[in-house]
Chains A and B, each alone.
Chain A
Amino acid sequence: MKVVVCTKQTPSTTAVFSVNNGAVSWEDSGGKPNVVNPWDEYAVEEAIRVKENHGASQAIALTMGTPDSQEALKTCLAMGCDEAILVSDPSFAGSDTLGTARILAAALEKIDGAKVVIFGKQAIDGDTGLTPVQVARKLGWTPVTYVSAIKEIKGHTITLERLLEDGKETVTTDLPVVISVVKEINEPRYPSFMGIRKANRATIPTWSAADLNISGGVGAGASQADWSHVYAIPAREGSVEIIEGDSVEEKVAALVDKLFEEKVI
């Protein structure tokens, strides 16, 4: 059994998001390189734990992205993944979540023995949270979202805990599964110094469109979703009023009147 973690390379959390004429940009004044999508760090950690605690033979990190996404994969290797695979092809550029799911599903089919696929909850740039379920649909595997614990993997089944708004739910399902995890699931480890050394010496294979058996369209042309109108939310106007008065009692009375007037209380 192999466990595969799908990660995305995203701008770092300190990057500043802005929109100009419908074009989105992420500027990081600190000049920080792109990082593993922060939500995916929990997925990477969990994949390593599936190997450590549930007998997976290998933990593999998988990314679809531009060649520089290798950097994010190196972080996964440094944390403890055994292998990393980059799926990259000029024809993939501009894929929406469905196109991405088609590509990832084709890559996952190529990984012999992959039984558990782990995603983060969502990506901090696109924020859709759709890719995991779409990948599951393409593969015909069971999707389980909001996973907060992997309790047991036994024979052909896996038992998971889901964290929902009103409580927790325990689910047992057949393998293979595609799950997306929430941050409550674990505390991601630091990549160790030795891990960083190893990761930077590793060669990361790149699979192109020609290496995969993709069904359905990919790339900008095949995108079903179109970001027709992207705009920054206008800053909210705010104002401050300082209530004057001769005594505390007077000021409090005026404040209470004001709050009633504004229907705050």
Chain B
Amino acid sequence: MDFTHEHEMFRQMVRKFVQTEIDPHIDEWEEARIFPAHDLFKKMGNLGLLGLTYPEQYGGGGVDYWYNAILLEEVGRTQCGGVPMAIAVQTDMATPALAEHGNDYQKETFLKPAIAGDAVFSIAVSEPDAGSDVAAIRTRAVLDGDEYVINGSKMWITNGTQADFLCLLTRTSGDYGFRGMSLIVVPTSTPGFSVSRKLEKLGNHSSDTAILSFDNMRVPVRNRIGAEGMGFMLQMRQFQQERLAAVLMSLSGVEQIIRTTINYTRERHAFGKPLLNNQWIYFKISELLTEVEAQRQLAYHCVRRFVAGEDITREVSMAKLKGGRLAREAADWCLQFHGGMGYVEEYPMARYFRDSRLMSIGGGADEIMLRIIAKLEGILPEGE
């Protein structure tokens, strides 16, 4: 058994939290195109939800990743993609490198408030001209005494308009390639930091996504996580946890939309019987549920290996690829079975259709997962 009674108790607690503190506000936050990150994160921090696996010394829970898996699964049950994604940025995408490779000063100054919910984090990797091709980033940090002077810009940054700290991937030497990059924690109060624009998106409306710009931002050298030039490696490691989180959260969403579709088609009648009683529909739903179960087992396999401290790059890349594909397939079929109701905003269906599409793009597109898998299998052609 992967889950103990204590895990179950924890699950019930998170479920109740999501039902009372998140669910009732989703429509309002979607409409507002932002959610109150500081307010929600503080509530989560008070319950110890934002640093479950992090050291107790900094306010973390010091427990195994299964707790975090439960958090993600339960948060993923809320009826939107935006808020769960924003939470996962804080817990699984912007802070793992800091927790694992940061020094005491950095953890005390940046990680502790993140765990407490006093500070909101963003992960700033992608740029207008470099998304999939991380090695092409151009944001540059130039050493000047005991400070870096940073110039450049970042694109599609989740929590970008509300963040207190960025975990920034920047070039510290060279012009192209994975050498010469560093991860630096940047307080957004630094002069020269600005939010260029909040992006209007297809979905995940409750999450704010921004273009950030850096104009001669001076950041102390002691904010650099790990050694200079290690940034790419640290970020690739951090990506593994980001992908695992995306996989676990999206599982809840996909399962939920299928269950919603079962309920809808059971109630809705056409041609003298419930829609669900058409073999075309109940077979398709059975097939989708089978995919979900298989995906869950792959996800749990990743968690088990992750907990054991093993490298999950291969499996989590497969799970991320599969998760994206499954979300797209399920969204399409479930919308189809909702008929006209799937196309209007009265039902959760339309929102799921929009939000779930991100799974195949964010955190590394499907094609990037395929590249990683091919590489690890030794079938990626030379020079590709």
Contact = CB atoms under 8 A, between A and B. Distances in A.
Interface in A172-224: 190-194, 196-197, 199-200
A237 to B, nearest CB: 21
A28 interface: no
Nearest to B67: A193
A244 B9 CA distance: 55
A138 to B, nearest CB: 33
Contact of B46 (A32, A191, A192, A196): A192
B285 interface: no
B9 A190 contact: no
Contacts of A196: 6, 9-10, 13
B48 A192 contact: yes
A39 B10 CA distance: 20
B6 A200 contact: yes
Secondary structure at the A interface, as helix, strand, loop or mixed, is helix
Interface residues on A, range: 10 to 19
Contacts of B6: 196-197, 200
B61 A194 contact: yes
B52 interface: yes
A78 interface: yes
Contacts, number: 42
A95 interface: no
B17 A193 contact: no
A192 B47 contact: yes
Contacts of A190: 13, 16-17, 47
A194 B50 CA distance: 12
A82 interface: no
Contacts of A35: 12
Interface in B16-35: 16-17
Contacts of A200: 4-6, 9
A131 interface: no
A194 B56 CA distance: 10
Contacts of B17: 190
A7 interface: no
A125 interface: no
A264 B99 CA distance: 69
Interface of A: 32-33, 35, 71, 74-75, 78, 190-194, 196-197, 199-200
Interface of B: 4-6, 8-10, 12-13, 16-17, 46-49, 52, 61, 63, 67
26 contacts: A32-B12, A33-B8, A35-B12, A74-B5, A190-B16, A190-B17, A190-B47, A191-B9, A192-B46, A192-B48, A193-B47, A193-B48, A193-B49, A193-B52, A193-B61, A193-B67, A194-B61, A196-B9, A197-B6, A197-B61, A197-B63, A199-B9, A200-B4, A200-B5, A200-B6, A200-B9
